[in-house]
Amino acid sequence: MMLPVDLARLIRAAWVLAREGVINALPLPEPRPFAVSAALIMAKAIRRRGTASRAERLSIAFSRLGPSYVKLGQFLATRPDVVGAALAADLAELQDAMPDFGLTGARMVIGESFGLDADRLFPELGAPIAAASIAQVHKAAVTDRDGRRRDVAVKVLRPGIDRRIASDLAGFYLAARLIEALAPRVRRLRPVAVVDTLARSLTLEMDLRLEASALSEMAQNTAEDADFRVPTVDWRRTSRSVLTMEWIDGIKLSDVAAIRAAGHDLPKLAATLLQSFLRHALRDGFFHADMHQGNLFVDSAGRIVAVDFGIVGRLGPRERRFLAEILHGFITRNYRRVAEVHFEAGYVPPEQELETFAQALRAVGEPLHGVPASEIAMSRLLNQLFETTELFAMQTRPELILLQKTMVVVEGVARSLDPDLDMWKVSEPVVSAWITRNLGPIGRIETAVSAVGDLIALAPRLPRLFDAIETIAIRTEAVDESRRRRRTVALPLWVGALSLAVIAASSLGWL
């Protein structure tokens, strides 16, 4: 249902964005809807004149519209297939920096969250040191029961942010539905599904207990990793609106000069960052999905420390296999296998031609080989893949959006440390190790053992399953049919059931 208040907010947002050049830069299909054209004409007439770049104007527009739109802008920066490469590049410069809500506001949120005065939990709570669209961060000192004093970082949600997010999301959904209704050509991009992904991400971000849980899970996954870690969580001082964690003394990866001055190996750090991300995605199926420079530090031991786990991504076993094989195919220039994986994954409609798709992938991959490493960019690869998806009527896969976004962000951070980073060479050990371990003999044995275990667990239910099949067969027959007729009908069902069991076992890889 189109609520007037949502429509009014959407019109205001469209006006602000059009005035700053956002809508005008979108790759809208022709002819553009009359309403959008009229808005652009009016907006152009009153557009600010000045020397500000479009990226600066975009930052002004999204910040003025509020926290949800800042998140939306950052999200669209990862979707050049939706907004175009040029606009995506400008949106990538959008910083999640908002005015803080002060120390008094933070004390109020902490008090309401725990039912205690903030001073009892945090005897030393400093002023905000960073403020973003969802929360702000303070440095504090606490005293444990054994009398030990330690520094902590305290993240506090903005007051009333949940109501603001819910209101803005209603407008986003309205816009997505209008786009699907008025622009049939972009339906394959699944605008509503894209907003679903953004909405889920924002909802999770607004419960800091979930971020604490993500930190804990990542710590467990990386316990044996010598070059990557995350802060420990202070669960006693963590709630839905407050997250308390270990204070990190380190250098932000954005401060390249300070990292170099501290004697750290910049190319090694760049390789560690990229390999850590791939290891998390492939090995664990769980990765930090907001790995920009402000969320990454290097400690005195040379380890990368990641903070701010408000956005995380997950990949199931199938998606991890598809990712590994696609990357390995590009690395080894086996474009037919890359094409086959796309068909197996359902990314490409079955009516498309495999060989033609492999040819298109070769056109994407070959220009990336035999050129200086500094000229190879994951973002370029993804942009070309997006163009190919339209040619072959591929549907947007919402579950892969965060992965695509993070790959581009990680590449950018890694190249800021090492401009000559060879993406393929650095990625190859992690990808090849995963394929050898999971798709080689050991992985097949483990899959077979798992399949046998599943079948053993299913075995006690088979008699009841067959009884149910026979009962259905009998009930579907006429009462006056002969016993011979019942057996004639039941036999194919038994054969069919056994055939399904064989097919299932075969699909699990142990027949």
Lowest average pLDDT, out of 75-84, 308-317, 349-358, goes to 75-84
Position with higher pLDDT, 233 vs 41: 233
> Which residues does residue 152 pair with via DSSP β-bridges, in sequence order?
140, 246
HEC secondary structure over 423-468 = HHHHHHHHHHHHHHHHHCHHHHHHHHHHHHHHHHHHHHHHHHHHHH
pTM comes to 0.72
Phi, psi at 47, each rounded to 5°: -60, 145
In single-letter form, the type of residue at position 418 comes to D
Q: For residue 446, what pLDDT is reported?
A: 46
State residue 451's pLDDT score. Answer: 46
Q: For 316-333, write each residue's pLDDT tens digit.
A: 888 888 878 887 888 788
pLDDT digits over 405-438, tens only? Answer: 788 788 888 888 998 888 778 888 888 888 887 7
Under a CB-based contact definition with an 8 Å cutoff, are residues 312 and 289 in contact? Answer: yes
Taking alpha carbons only, the member of 374, 369, 381 closest to residue 333 is: 369
Asked if pLDDT for residue 220 goes beyond 90, the answer is: yes
| 189-193, 311-315, 389-393: least confident range | 389-393
157: enclosing H helix or E strand: strand 149-157
Q: How far is CA 405 from CA 79, 117, 122, 393, in A?
A: 8, 40, 36, 21
- Does the pLDDT of residue 6 top 60, yes or no? yes
Structure tokens at 117: 């005065």
Residue 377 has pLDDT above 80, yes or no: no
Per-chain mean pLDDT for the chain: 77
All structural domains of the chain, each given as residue ranges with its CATH number in brackets, are 4-94+163-204 (no CATH), 98-159+207-247 (3.30.200.20), 249-439 (no CATH), 445-507 (no CATH)
8 A C-beta contact, residue 175 and residue 146: no
Instruction: Compute the half-sphere exposure of residue 275: CA atoms within 13 Å on the CB side of its CA.
Output: 23
DSSP 144: -
pLDDT at position 375? 66
Please tell me the predicted confidence (pLDDT) of residue 344: 82
Radius of gyration of the chain measured on its C-alpha atoms = 27
pLDDT 10s digits, 450-503: 445 555 655 566 566 566 666 665 665 554 555 555 555 555 544 444 454 444
Q: Which residues of 330-357 are buried (b: 16+ CB within 10 A; e: fewer)?
A: bbeebbebbbbbbeebebbeeebeeeeb
The pLDDT of residue 445 is above 80: no
303-314 pLDDT tens trace:
999 999 988 888
Range of weakest confidence among 72-76, 188-192, 499-503: 499-503
- The CA distance from 141 to 153, in Å, is 9
Give 136's strand partners.
131, 156
Residue 72 has pLDDT above 70, yes or no: yes
User: Per-residue pLDDT averaged across 383-388, rounded?
Assistant: 65
265-298 pLDDT tens trace: 999 999 999 999 999 998 999 999 888 888 999 9
Of 33-37, 228-232, 297-301, 428-432, minimum mean pLDDT range: 33-37
Task: Specify the 3-state DSSP secondary structure of 341.
Answer: helix
Confidence of residue 398 (pLDDT cuts 50, 70, 90): low
Residue scoring higher pLDDT (23 or 153)? 153
CB 489 within 8 A of CB 457: no
d(CA 267, CA 448): 41
Phi then psi dihedrals of residue 247, to 5 deg: -80, 130
Segment (H or E) for 252:
strand 251-252
Residues taking part in catalysis:
290
pLDDT at 403: 76
Helices (DSSP H) in 250-400: which residue ranges?
Answer: 256-261, 266-279, 317-332, 335-345, 354-365, 378-391
